[in-house]
Structure 1
């Protein structure tokens, strides 16, 4: 039965790699394993229990409000152009120091991805501004696209990313943290991730220097980028609004404690940011009703694209448990801490590179393996964070990721040429972040 379960898992990831609907594939695979587990193995995890695991995620009070409000807030920031003002405010200083243009673009995109946690969404929102700005500075278009693409894993420390609330919930159930607060997880991920993005940016700058694709490497071009030619007037207030919720969350975290944590939860902070965005919209004659529609659409997309995927992964994990595969994997990892440490990074990373999205692999890993972190001599946060960060980094060197396709289109470049430039920085970053997560926490 374990071999049959392993075969089902491999077939599942093959179908996801082939771009079949991930939610459907995970749910059907989970049900199949649950049926085998109940009626052939005689497992305690029945089909009904597997379905209940799916339903439980749809009404998860710690998960659903966080994701839908973050996604709704991001949609409002895009509609009101507040995100454009923030990007332009960040880009302008780069024009004065050519050496930091490429690594600076990586870090700017990474920071913006915390506010707008969709990789494809931030690629579109930031790429349409940054890539023309870099090209206007005579950076080669393919390197401009690579710089932005390399920053599309900043969402790993976003409160709206599906994994952080998920890991917080698992850690809370394990008694590792006092409450299911995603910010507790993010605070432990922040330093390793920040080290990782700096390392990735520096390595890409070295690649850029070696290939001679940096500032001044192409013939003169028209300055089409508003952030470079000065036509775009940055409104400081609009530029600050996207970071207000993150600022509130940081100062309300237990580590800082300047505001009451229970009052300033993720949904509350995101709604405050949304309200400020609506006020700005009204000042610029954008109807509040339209802002509301954008918020609701963003929230609905968050439920559709994120929450249901998490629920499907929970059903898949329940099926793995029913057929006995989870127990076998846990026992195998118990024999060696290094095996568990390597698997947490390698599995989601490879899946992300192949399929363009490591979400399914990381979600399944966190549902099935991460709760047993103590058996491997690690914490839930360490093991779960490594899995999801590795998935985010792996996506940043995948030629089939939505973000690279968008950016390559903006730059007029080949996606394969873009990922050739992000591959080395990503590989080094995943090693650095993994070591940092295991040693600094």
Structure 2
């Protein structure tokens, strides 16, 4: 009877949280409220303290002190990295370096005379750019402005062009991405470079190649069947990169500089550059280049740049770091309830339990993001479950974290409330339902490729 009650409370907690977020309640508020209520219930009903070793001496006070403890823990680890990454990314957008990178990377494609091959390559380049331009919405807007109208003129339908652009930025991978930092440091217990190179890179690459092939074949057939708008003009004015043209080619490297610095440890084992250090170096290099380029009003301009950077860092704390803390309070309460553990113990008795767990948690993460619209919200909320579940089926946390975290990003490609989805729909002038329908086949194929490749690479072999 006690187990049934535990399962019921766990199920009700998840359903209520999902419904409130679907009704547009702030996700941070919902996670905090749900987490506090669960932990208060546990404190009163079972005498549980979330900070037993640092107890205040009162179980109720311990629940509230737990929030402060989580803030300190996150700010001392992944939170600080996320803030500096957000600040650097914002500066890259502000000075036009992100636009320079996007234009430089996509321009050579337009010389090919194979529209759907160009579309597939554009998707791959967009996915690679996502490692450097970590905002899904930001990357989608850049590609919509610089490449969408050209794809339309090549004879590709608006839906197919918009789909390729939207999905290209949905996958969260690379050492500078917040979801990856969380997966590596908080869930798996690895450095982000180790997690990316040894665990995430191969499954992510296989998923990307799968989606590219599916797009090239499926979009060509469906456009031929439905009739692409070959002579249509887009409501999005083509941006030939005027701002980017003002910048030296070196500026195209700046968004990638932190990635290159962190990855240098793979080739230089005696030297390891952390994410925070890499982004600080990138910031200093950027300020030096801008000093050389501008020459006048330098002090005012550089002060403005620092203001942009620190403002973005503050916004990151207010939105991302606080979301991580709120989701962590909810997730740890959910784990302590015991319902998830009961389910995992039952699954562990089945043949093929490891694959079942990987599929189940990956789908949980995938559908949570479709509902929530934020890859971060779903992953931060359910990612911590991995460390508790993995040992019960004989797995390491990273073996579940990789497919689960990648699946979370992919879910944005089908989410009707994701910021990038709504932005692309508005700019492309297509219907939301039609774009989601067009996205379904490549996204599902990518999801399947992710789960299968992750299981084979990290569990079977």
**What TM-score do you get using the length of structure 1 for normalisation?**
0.89
Residue 83 of structure 1: CA displacement?
A: 0.9
Q: Higher mean Cα deviation, 318-327 or 107-116?
A: 318-327
Residue 98 of structure 1: CA displacement?
A: 3.5
Give the direction of change, closer, same or farther, for the CA distance of 1:412–1:280 in structure 2 (3 Å limit): farther
Give the direction of change, closer, same or farther, for the CA distance of 1:8–1:233 in structure 2 (3 Å limit): same
What's the counterpart of residue 211 of structure 1? 222
* Secondary structure of 1:157's aligned partner: coil
Matching residue within 180, 184, 193 for 2:194:
184
Q: Distance in 2 between matches of 1:373 and 1:51?
A: 29
Residues matched between the structures, number: 430
* Secondary structure of 2:168's aligned partner: coil
Query: Given the alignment of the two structures, is residue 145 of structure 1 paired with residue 162 of structure 2, yes or no?
Result: yes
Query: Given the alignment of the two structures, is residue 30 of structure 1 paired with residue 35 of structure 2, yes or no?
Result: yes
Contact 1:313 1:367 in 2 (8 A): no
Matching residue within 57, 65, 73 for 2:88:
73
What's the counterpart of residue 281 of structure 2? 272
Consecutive unaligned residues of structure 2, counting only runs of 5 or more, are: 51-58
Q: Distance in 2 between matches of 1:36 and 1:359?
A: 27
Q: Distance in 1 between matches of 2:230 and 2:293?
A: 39
Query: Given the alignment of the two structures, is residue 4 of structure 1 paired with residue 9 of structure 2, yes or no?
Result: yes
Residue 228 of structure 1: CA displacement?
A: 9.5
Residue 415 of structure 1: CA displacement?
A: 2.2
Consecutive unaligned residues of structure 1, counting only runs of 5 or more, are: 173-179
Residue 302 of structure 1: CA displacement?
A: 1.7
Matching residue within 290, 293, 313 for 1:299:
313
What's the counterpart of residue 312 of structure 1? 326
Residue 416 of structure 1: CA displacement?
A: 2.0
Matching residue within 260, 276, 295 for 2:271:
260
What's the counterpart of residue 177 of structure 1? none
Q: Distance in 2 between matches of 1:56 and 1:113?
A: 32
Query: Given the alignment of the two structures, is residue 395 of structure 1 paired with residue 415 of structure 2, yes or no?
Result: no
Q: Distance in 1 between matches of 2:63 and 2:344?
A: 19
Matching residue within 203, 212, 220 for 1:201:
212
Residue 366 of structure 1: CA displacement?
A: 1.8
Contact 1:356 1:398 in 2 (8 A): yes
Moved over 6 A (4+): 213-216
Structure with greater Cα Rg:
2
Q: Distance in 2 between matches of 1:209 and 1:439?
A: 31
What's the counterpart of residue 417 of structure 1? 434
Contact 1:70 1:270 in 2 (8 A): yes
What's the counterpart of residue 105 of structure 1? 122
Matching residue within 126, 131, 155 for 2:172:
155
Q: Higher mean Cα deviation, 426-435 or 146-155?
A: 146-155
Residue 16 of structure 1: CA displacement?
A: 1.6
Residue 239 of structure 1: CA displacement?
A: 0.9
- Residue by residue, what CA displacement relative to the aligned partner does 1:72-126 show, whole Å, maximum 9, x if unpaired? 1100110110111111111111112243221122122212221122222222233
What's the counterpart of residue 453 of structure 2? 436
Q: Distance in 2 between matches of 1:225 and 1:215?
A: 23
Q: Higher mean Cα deviation, 41-50 or 264-273?
A: 41-50
Q: Please report the RMSD computed on the Cα atoms of aligned residues, expressed in angstroms.
A: 2.7
Contact 2:144 2:165 in 1 (8 A): yes
Q: Distance in 1 between matches of 2:187 and 2:146?
A: 39
Residue 166 of structure 1: CA displacement?
A: 4.3
Q: Distance in 1 between matches of 2:434 and 2:291?
A: 43
Q: Distance in 1 between matches of 2:60 and 2:283?
A: 41
Q: Higher mean Cα deviation, 155-164 or 72-81?
A: 155-164
Q: Distance in 2 between matches of 1:86 and 1:215?
A: 33
Residue 48 of structure 1: CA displacement?
A: 4.8
Q: Distance in 2 between matches of 1:182 and 1:52?
A: 29
Give the direction of change, closer, same or farther, for the CA distance of 1:85–1:228 in structure 2 (3 Å limit): closer
* Secondary structure of 2:125's aligned partner: helix
Q: Distance in 1 between matches of 2:312 and 2:143?
A: 18
